[in-house]
Structure 1
Amino acid sequence: MTKSFVAETIQTTPSLVSTHKFTETTPDRESVKVVIYGSKRGVNNTILTLYKLGFAEVNEWSPLLPSSSPGEVMSILTRHIQTN
């Protein structure tokens, strides 16, 4: 993925995305999850990189959680997007 692709995606995302914390899915909204798997260092570095690119605040990600693979962790970001 190139930096220009990420920048274009981020520019179009804010009008479609809400970071309000609610769990209900309504006819015009749905929940989308972004998951990062890897070492603790790799996951933390990726979260910081995505923050620097304006994708998500660091505190919007879940705490590091163990994954099904030994030595690997994951973190989850949930976004609510408009579907219409």
Structure 2
Amino acid sequence: MMAQLLKSAQSKLEQYLHGEDTPTFNQSTKNQFPQREPIKHLLIGSPKAVTSTIHYLQVLGYAHVGDWSPLLPTANPDEVMSILTRQILMQ
């Protein structure tokens, strides 16, 4: 059962990272933003801690709550993860 849960979580994460809703960093994007690079933020913890951190980052103006992936279970009981992909300016 745990293996199925992990496989399902991995599949959902892959769909989020490579799905149609996720912008790809293709050649035209590189030409538009030559000084930007993708970075991924991964939060892992209890559902309460992850959700609280996501809301706090919205209050700070860093990312909207809807920018994060859904909470996905990890192999550990009562632990979830969520990922945010951003384009950051490189100097």
Give the TM-score, by structure 1 length: 0.64
1:42-57 matches, within 5 Å, as 42-57=49-64
Contact 1:23 1:31 in 2 (8 A): no
Cα distance in 1 for residues equivalent to 2:23 and 2:36? 11
Equivalent pairs, count? 64
Of Structure 1 and Structure 2, which has the larger fraction of its residues in helix? 2
Identity of aligned residues (%): 48
Residue number in structure 2 paired with 1:33: 40
The one of the two structures with greater contact order (alpha-carbon pairs below 8 A, sep at least 6) is 1
Unaligned 5+ segments in structure 2 are 1-21
Q: 1:22 to 1:45 in 2, by over 3 A?
A: same
Q: How far apart are 1:22 and its partner, in Å?
A: 1.5
1:55-70 matches, within 5 Å, as 55-70=62-77
Unaligned 5+ segments in structure 1 are 1-20
Of Structure 1 and Structure 2, which has the larger fraction of its residues in strand? 1
Give the TM-score, by structure 2 length: 0.60
SS in 2 for 1:70: coil
SS in 1 for 2:25: coil
Residue number in structure 1 paired with 2:3: none
Of 74, 77, 84, the match for 2:81: 74
